[in-house]
Structure 1
Amino acid sequence: MSEPLNTRPAAESHLVDLTPQGLRRVRAWGVSIALGSFLFGFDTGIISGALLFIREDFDLTSFQQGSVVSILLLGAVIGALTCGNIADRYGRKPVLAALGVVFFLGIGAAAFAPGYWTVLLGRVVMGLAVGGVSATVPTYLGEMAPAQVRGRMLSLNQLFITFGLLTSYLVNWALSGAEAWRAMFGVGLVPALLLFLAALWLPESPAWLVRKGRMEQARKVVDRVAEPGDADRFVDRVHDAQREEDRSGSSGGVGDLFRGTALAALLVACVLAALQQFAGINTILYYAPTIISQAGLSASNAIFYSIFIGTVNVAVTFVSLALIDRVGRRPLLLGSLAGMTVSIALLGLAFAAGMSPLAMLVFMMLFIVAFGVGMGPVFWVLLGEVFPSAQRAEGASAGATVNWLSNFLMSLAFLPLVNAVGQAATFWGFAVLCLLGFAFVAKWVPETRERNADEVGADLRRRWRISEG
């Protein structure tokens, strides 16, 4: 029995019947575009090993080392902020192809850099592409995914991020003996080229095509995966929804994000984006060797710790992938935040009570498991589902921008905060934020599983008491 394709979980959504071949094709499209998410993870993780040798070759100061790491985050902010508008204007497909080129140029600049400034330039360019895919991939997956597997398709974003991180750790480990930092970067040239080629093969979003008046092209895309006759019904439904939006005064621009249902969706996206970072996950991932060292264990084999943590992160993301379309988004988020609250509070207690390093490591891993099952992937899923159709790309861009800004601020603030108040108080602070996040999700975040935008919008308006107009 074929599964229905919900090419856009939004006001213009219309369920059409996928052929068995069409379902396989849609899944292949999802996996192909998630190459951008793989590069997201790879480029953020590869610097952890490469920097050990770059600093020796170029005699970098502490400030220069920090700038090589953090400049990618600032580039990602710019990329996330600008890509939504560009994707709305020119389409998802050309933007994704362009991001493959940007990745290739940034990685190439870093790999062949003659000195510090070229490495820094390469990292900025990589950051632009990382931010761009963080906004564009959820938008594209949300528009192309079948309703029954939409959560799993959107979760591919997080799965490939974690897989990219793990790959970067393995590459660092394999090449660290030869101190081949240029080759560490250079490995990323292959998936960058594959992303560009995949974007040439992928179809444009049919909903975007209809909104641009390219009806025949939209029909051809839907015809590739759906039963005969469904393409006409899909196009008519999207076109009717667009006319309704035009009558309501919606322009599809940035200004529309700040009213009605879109405003409620924006608040949900931005709060979850900030919470994902301020809950403490990247302090665990980035500073695990430091935490372990302070706990009394040797940090000399930091790459080994990174591989272990990366493997756990990938494994629990597979668990989320299996659950998200069965149990829904809200239960996973609530369970995740509850587990994160308890585990990181226990980590703080372990530091305060002077527990064994093994106990600290167990609490760290429990926190990563809790995050990976819910808060990690579900944020990216909601980013592709919660916004009205006309504001999806701009909304995803705004959410991704807040996520990267929060990431940057946390990377700067964590170690000074630990030095000021101690490890125990710092982790207890994260526990309080996780608890507040649990309350926020319980009251304000809608369920989007197998819902169209009318249903999601009605739930948002009820929860936030915001009316349209």
Structure 2
Amino acid sequence: MSSAKILPAVNYPVTARQVFFMVSLGATAVCCGSMNGWTAVLPRLQHNHSRFTVTDQEVAWLVSMTSLVIIVVSAVAGPLVEFLGPRLLLQLSLLLAAASWLAMAFTPLKWLLYVGRAGVSVAAAFIFSLLQPLLVEMSPPQIRGLASSLPEMFGSLGMLIAFILASFFPWHVTTTLCALPAVILFLPLLFVPESPYWLVRRNRTQDARTSLTRLRGRRDGVEEELTTLLNAPTAVQSSVKEQFVLLCKGRNLRPVLVVTSLFTLRELGGRSTILQYAVYIFQGAGVDMDPFTCTIMLGAIRVVCVCVSALVLDRVGRRPLLITSALVCGAVQGVAGVFLYLELPGASWVPLVGLLVYIGSYGLGVGTVPWVLQGELLPSPVRSVGASIVVFVNTAALFAINFVFFLVVAELGLGLTLITFGVCTLLVGGVAWRWVPETRGASLSHLETAFSTRARNKKVINDECEEKIIISQTD
């Protein structure tokens, strides 16, 4: 990595308008969270034979097919973002999600259930691919960490809402209610300006100036920021083909590989499996509580801890939260796995306590920080394509682990499965310690240099970044 100075970004005052823009964008992740949390209705769906019968194998497909769809869609998400613009594509995704939820809720045919699930997955794929970079580009520098945490925060809230609905209502009522957020959240996006980065790439300089003025809430400094955007490599690299060519350069490829590794190891650590199969896990572990209640507890703790993470992320920093969270998560998974494997006394309660601690720690770092780093570390010349690659590889791992979960548990047992998850989660901390620089307080333009040379200079960058942060906060 380079020893060049990483300068702090210009701090504009945060206004109510900016908060509205950030919340309007981040809240769209509720649809992604409800997509994942909807799987809590599957036990009820299996016991309800009024329309059709659902087997365990079909449950595995309904859980994992979302990842399979996202794998395919993420390959075209980057080009579509460049063609349509991130805000318009986000709006279209919400409309698709609403229509797909309603199709699932009212279909009398099982195959239409799969079609609706696929439609929700397509919408989620576009939201996953474009939301984080868009928030980073449009948020004020001093609250970039908080703004980047909004998707995880609202995604956790969406999952919790789905868990609660699934525990109280029939599956088709829960599915219908999942369509409401997509409809409601479409309206605020009508007032959100388009990304100035994308507008510059489309040679719409005047529109980019207008967008920056609305985003920053003032004219002072807008011309200087616009000049920086016009002189940046991203201003002339709008072609997807050119982005793939630039991706071959080490300074662009290395951050994409690092961020991809964090997401992939996180999924191999069982993050999605634990949440989406929560009811089945608690049933299999023999926990002496209603499994739906246990699942709601998981969702509630995750929401609280993600909110805490969002509030401290710009103060504590990305690396400490990510490394500490990964170590705690991995250790807890390992302990719970050992108790179940050895069938020690009290083992039925250990998975509940262990998973509650795991989800809490996960919400503090492992769940939030990788999304922040995706927006901050992916270089602007390859940001759209890089984000698509991250989502593609991440969801490939997600599909594999979700689809084979029942088979792995049948072969290894729940105890050894949790131990394996723990090892992968610990590797997240190892990757973060070795290759991830501290990014809080640094401007996006200067983060472009963070991976320009060998990783041995990472400590120099971290130290200089911390020095600039202290100066910026003092001013």
- Give the TM-score, by structure 2 length: 0.87
Structure 1 residues 290 and 233, CA, compared in 2 at 3 Å: closer, same or farther? same
Matches within 5 A, 1:270-289: 270-289=260-279
Q: Which one-letter code corresponds to 1:327 in the other structure?
A: V
Matches within 5 A, 1:13-412: 15-16=9-10, 18-19=12-13, 23-49=15-41, 52-53=44-45, 56=49, 57-175=51-169, 179=170, 181-224=171-214, 225-242=216-233, 252-298=242-288, 301-353=290-342, 354-356=344-346, 357-412=348-403
Q: Which one-letter code corresponds to 1:102 in the other structure?
A: L
Provide Cα deviations, 1:172-198, integer angstroms capped at 9, x if missing partner.
1231xxx3x322111122211123223
Task: Give the Cα–Cα distance (whole angstroms) in 2 for the partners of residues 313 and 151 of structure 1.
Answer: 18
Q: CA deviation at 1:50?
A: 5.3
Task: Give the Cα–Cα distance (whole angstroms) in 2 for the partners of residues 325 and 243 of structure 1.
Answer: 26
Q: CA deviation at 1:310?
A: 0.3
Task: Give the Cα–Cα distance (whole angstroms) in 1 for the partners of residues 65 and 423 of structure 2.
Answer: 29
**Partners of 1:14 and 1:234 within 8 A in 2:** no
Moved more, 212-221 or 453-462: 453-462
1:449 corresponds to 2:440? yes
Provide Cα deviations, 1:129-181, integer angstroms capped at 9, x if missing partner.
01110111102101111111101101001001100000001111231xxx3x3
Structure 1 residues 350 and 18, CA, compared in 2 at 3 Å: closer, same or farther? same
Provide Cα deviations, 1:330-355, integer angstroms capped at 9, x if missing partner.
11111011111211111122113323
| Structure 1 residues without counterparts, runs of 5 or longer | 1-10
Task: Give the Cα–Cα distance (whole angstroms) in 2 for the partners of residues 290 and 17 of structure 1.
Answer: 48
Q: Which one-letter code corresponds to 1:148 in the other structure?
A: Q
1:438 corresponds to 2:432? no
Task: Give the Cα–Cα distance (whole angstroms) in 2 for the partners of residues 384 and 15 of structure 1.
Answer: 15
Task: Give the Cα–Cα distance (whole angstroms) in 2 for the partners of residues 170 and 340 of structure 1.
Answer: 25
Task: Give the Cα–Cα distance (whole angstroms) in 1 for the partners of residues 106 and 199 of structure 2.
Answer: 40
Q: CA deviation at 1:303?
A: 1.8
Higher relative contact order (CA 8 A, sep 6+): 2
Task: Give the Cα–Cα distance (whole angstroms) in 2 for the partners of residues 361 and 48 of structure 1.
Answer: 17
Q: CA deviation at 1:443?
A: 0.9
Q: Which one-letter code corresponds to 2:338 in the other structure?
A: L
**Aligned with 1:384: secondary structure?**
helix
Provide Cα deviations, 1:264-300, integer angstroms capped at 9, x if missing partner.
011112101101111122232233333333333247x
Q: CA deviation at 1:16?
A: 5.0
**Partners of 2:8 and 2:441 within 8 A in 1:** no
Q: Which one-letter code corresponds to 2:167 in the other structure?
A: W
Q: Which one-letter code corresponds to 1:107 in the other structure?
A: W
**Partners of 1:77 and 1:128 within 8 A in 2:** no
Q: CA deviation at 1:212?
A: 1.4
Q: Which one-letter code corresponds to 1:40 in the other structure?
A: C
Q: CA deviation at 1:465?
A: 7.1
Structure 1 residues 232 and 434, CA, compared in 2 at 3 Å: closer, same or farther? same
Give the count of matched residue pairs: 446
Aligned to 2:418: 427
Moved more, 281-290 or 440-449: 281-290
Q: Which one-letter code corresponds to 1:240 in the other structure?
A: N
Q: CA deviation at 1:379?
A: 0.9
**Partners of 1:143 and 1:205 within 8 A in 2:** yes
Moved more, 124-133 or 228-237: 228-237
Task: Give the Cα–Cα distance (whole angstroms) in 2 for the partners of residues 43 and 435 of structure 1.
Answer: 27
Report the aligned-residue RMSD.
Answer: 2.5
- Give the TM-score, by structure 1 length: 0.88
Q: CA deviation at 1:321?
A: 0.7
Q: Which one-letter code corresponds to 1:217 in the other structure?
A: D
**Partners of 2:18 and 2:217 within 8 A in 1:** no
Q: CA deviation at 1:420?
A: 1.9
| Structure 2 residues without counterparts, runs of 5 or longer | 458-475
**Partners of 1:84 and 1:393 within 8 A in 2:** yes
**Aligned with 1:447: secondary structure?**
coil
Provide Cα deviations, 1:39-89, integer angstroms capped at 9, x if missing partner.
000122123215623652212344333333332222222233321221122
Task: Give the Cα–Cα distance (whole angstroms) in 1 for the partners of residues 242 and 186 of structure 2.
Answer: 28
**Partners of 1:445 and 1:460 within 8 A in 2:** no
Moved more, 427-436 or 126-135: 427-436
